[in-house]
Amino acid sequence: MSVYLGLYDRLHDHTSVYLELYDRLRDHTPVYLGLHDRLHDHTPVYLELYDRLRDHTPVYLGLYDRLRDRLSFCV
């Protein structure tokens, strides 16, 4: 996970607008999930990195996918 976290930190520094939204929306999960789906279509650079990271963080993404499945009814 250290490689993922290092890349995440760098990404965090370069996507301040996205992450500001993320931080605000994280507290309102149903809203965040709906907006995340829309952001997914409009942030190709972020998502290209995310897709690469996803291939190298199966444990993280396994948990993320489970969480997403449990919360998807809120969207």
Domain ranges of the chain: 2-74
% of the chain with per-residue pLDDT over 90: 0
Is the pLDDT assigned to residue 75 strictly greater than 50? no
37 pLDDT above the threshold of 60:
no
**Calpha distance 70→50 (Å, rounded):** 21
Return d(Cα 60, Cα 42) in angstroms, integer.
Answer: 23
* Residue 64 in this model has a pLDDT that exceeds 50: yes
**Around 70, how many Cα atoms within 13 Å sit in the side-chain half-sphere?**
7
Distance between the two ends of the chain, CA-based, in angstroms? 29
- Read off the pTM: 0.18
Tokens encoding 18:
């996205």
**Stretch 39-60: mean pLDDT:** 56
